[in-house]
Chain A
C-alpha cells in the first residue's frame, strides 16, 4: 500500500496542468490580451506598408525624372526604343514606342581608353578569350607482320590504342586590331626501334598573332602556324575528313604535315565579285621530310591562290593552287606544287543529306645527289614525284556519314609507289563528340613493298570553345 501512495503523488500536478487549459474566466482574459497584441502587430504592418509605398513612389518619381532627362539628351534623329517587351497579349503601340532608345553607347573617352589585353574574368565572370580542349584517340588493328615491321599507317603504334593528339587551344582578341591563338598538343609517338620505345611528346602546334587592321585589306600572321598550303594541310588532326591523313601528304611532308612552321604569312581577299584569296608566307623551313634547312637565310616560301564559286542550290566549289619552295636538309632545293578541289552539295532546308567530294594532287620537284661508284662520280639529278587522293562523303543526316577515299602516290625520294582504298563510317552524337571506324587496304612497291590491311577506330571530343566548321 505504501508503495501505491508513493506512485500517486504526480497526479495532483497533472490535474492542475490540465485545469489551465479548461475554459474559464482566466482564459477569457488571455484571449483579450492576444487580440490586443494582434491589433498592435496589424497597426505596425500597416505602418510598414505605408512607408514602403511612400518609398516606392519616391523611387518611381526619381526614375521618371532620370528617364525624362535622358530622353531630352537623346538627339531627335536617333530613335529610342522601349526598354522592355510587352507582357503576354498586351497591345503595344509599336509606332509610339519608336521614341524610346536602347542602352547607351560607350563614350568617346571610353572607346579611346586603353584596354587590357586579357583578363581571367570580368565582373560577369566572362572570360575575355576562349579555351578549348580537344582529345583525339585512335586504335590501329593490323597483322603481326605490320606490327613487327612497324610499317603500318601509324608506324610504331600498330595494334595499339593511343592518344594521337590532346590539344589545349587558347584563342581570342588581343586588342581591337589583333587576335591570337595558342595551341599546345601532346601525343604518343614511336621513339625508337623497340616496340616499347614510345613517348608522349608535347609540342607548340600554333602560337601566332594575327594583325587584322593592316592597310590594303591585308591580314598578316606571325609566329608558329600551319601555313596556307593546299586543301588539307590547314586542317587540324582531329578535323580531318578521315582518321588518317591521305598517303600523298604523309609521304611528301611526313605525318605531321607542314605544321609548326615559324615565320610570317600575309593574305588578301581580292575585291572581286567572286571569292579569291591570295596568301604568301616566308618560314624557317623545319619540315624534316621536305624542307629541313631551318633558316631564314634560305626561307621556305609558300604561296596559295584559293577561289570559291557559290552555286547556290547546286552547292559550292572551291579550288586552290599552292606552291612551296625551300631547301631540304640535304641542301638541295625542293619545290612542291599543289592543286586541290572540293565540292559540296547540301539538300535545301535541313542541310542534309550532304554530299562532299574532294581531292588534291601534289607534284614535287627536288634535286638529289646520286651516290657515285668506280665508274661514275656522284652527280646531281632532278626527281619529279607526284601523288594524290580523292574522297567522297555522304552525310545521311546530322549524326551519320559514310565515305570512301582512294590514294595513289609515289614516294618523295626513294623509289616506290603505293595505292590504298579506305571506306569509313562516322557517327556524331553531338557537335562535340565524334566516333569513326575506317578500313584501309594498302599495296606498295619498291621501298614500300607490302600489302597492309588495317582497321582504325577513332574517338574525338571537344571541351569548351571550338572554332566554327569551315567549308
Chain B
C-alpha cells in the first residue's frame, strides 16, 4: 500500500480532531463577557489587579502560577489571551518584556506598549539595584532598569495599586469610584497584615540572609533583613565554584542564618551552600498561586513571611 494514499485521510483526521476539540471547548465557554477584560502578565500583578477590579470584570494572567518568568516561552494561548483583553497590566521593567512579541502577534493594537490601555505597575516607584557603569551580558541577564520584584514589599502597594486603578479608571471613568473603593479596601487589608508581618519579623531585624536569585531586595528592605549575598551572582548564569566558596566563607564569618530559594529553581546548589555554611534552606514561592491557597496577594505574602519567620526562629 502506497503511503501517499493515507495523506488525505490523515489531513481529514487532523481537521476532524481539531474541530471536535474546538466544539467541546466552545460548549464550556461562558455566555456573556464581563464589563472589564484585563490581562496581567504575571501572577503578582494578577492578584493585585483582581483585588482592585473585584466583580467589575474578569482578570486573566498570561503566566501560570509558579512559572519562572525568566525562562518563559511564548505560547499561542497567550496570544489568544491578549486578543481577548482590553487592558494590559505589565510590570514595566524587563520582567515581562516577552509580552511585546505576543501583543504584536495578537492583532490587538490597543495593547501595544505605549498605548493608553497598557498599565505599567512600576511607574512612580523608587527602584532598587539599578546597575551603574557598563552594563553588558558579562554580568548575566541583568535588568538594566532596576530590580523588577517590587511587589514583594507591601510598602509599594499604594503606588502600584494607584497606577493600576488610575489606568483602569482612565479607560473606564464610569467605574472609577468603584475601582477606587476596591483599592482602598485592598490597601486597608494589606496595611493591617503588613503591621502583623512586621511584628513577626521584627525580632530578626538585621539578620543576614542569602538568596539564590536576586528576587528579594524589596522584601528585605521592607523588614530590615540584610542581604549578605546572592548565590546566582550573575542572573541566569550558574555560579562559579570560586563565588560559592567565597560566599560560604562570608556566611560563616558574618553569621548568615538562612538561604532563600525561589521554588522554581533547582535546590541542589542552594542546599549545598546552606549545608556548608551551617545555615537553613528556605524554599518559598516568589509569586502568588504557586502554593495551594495563596492565589490572593495577602495570602501569598502571609505564606512567605510565615515561612521565613519560622526558619529564622529555629535555633
Contacts and interface: CB of A to CB of B under 8 A. Distances in A.
B290 interface: yes
Contacts of B25: 273-274
B10 interface: yes
B75 to A, nearest CB: 5
Contacts of B126: 83-85
A447 to B, nearest CB: 19
Contacts of A309: 21
A177 interface: yes
Contact of A219 (B64, B107, B154, B165): B107
Contacts of B157: 94
Contact of B195 (A81, A91, A341): A91
A174 B67 CA distance: 32
Q: Give the contact-size bracket for chain B.
A: 35 or more
Given A85-B159, A269-B80, A363 B7 contact: yes
Interface string A200-240: 00000000001011000111000000000000000000000
B11 A273 contact: no
A416 interface: no
Contact of A78 (B169, B221, B223): B169
Contact of B221 (A85, A352, A386): A85
A463 B162 contact: no
Contacts of B137: 432, 463
B180 A81 contact: no
A352 B114 CA distance: 34
Contacts of B218: 85
B233 interface: no
B202 A79 contact: no
Given A81-B158, A94-B188, A350-B264, A275 B76 contact: yes
A95 B14 contact: no
A83 B18 CA distance: 51
Nearest to A384: B4
A182 B22 CA distance: 37
A24 interface: no
A269 B106 CA distance: 6
Nearest to A266: B107
Interface string B282-299: 000000001000000000
Given A77-B180, A78-B176, A100 B158 contact: yes
Contacts of B237: 429-430
Contact of B153 (A85, A277, A319, A352): A85
Contact of B80 (A85, A275, A399): A275
Interface string A416-434: 0000000000000111100
Nearest to A271: B83
A84 B155 CA distance: 9
Contacts of B114: 173, 176
A398 interface: yes
Interface stretch (B35-43, B97-105, B244-252, B273-281): B97-105
B112 A212 contact: yes
26 contacts: A77-B169, A84-B126, A85-B159, A86-B222, A89-B224, A91-B195, A102-B159, A102-B162, A173-B112, A176-B115, A177-B109, A269-B79, A273-B22, A273-B25, A308-B76, A319-B18, A321-B15, A339-B10, A341-B14, A361-B10, A384-B4, A386-B7, A397-B266, A398-B71, A470-B73, A471-B74
Interface of B: 3-4, 7, 10-11, 14-15, 17-18, 21-22, 25-26, 28-29, 64, 66-68, 71-77, 79-80, 83-84, 97-98, 101, 104-109, 112-115, 123-126, 137, 140-141, 153-163, 165-166, 169-170, 173, 176-177, 180, 183-184, 187-188, 190-191, 194-195, 198, 202, 205, 218, 221-224, 236-238, 263-266, 290
Interface of A: 77-86, 88-95, 97-98, 100-103, 105, 173, 176-177, 179, 210, 212-213, 217-219, 267-269, 271-277, 306-310, 312, 316, 318-319, 321, 337, 339, 341, 348-352, 361, 363, 384, 386, 397-399, 429-432, 463, 467-471
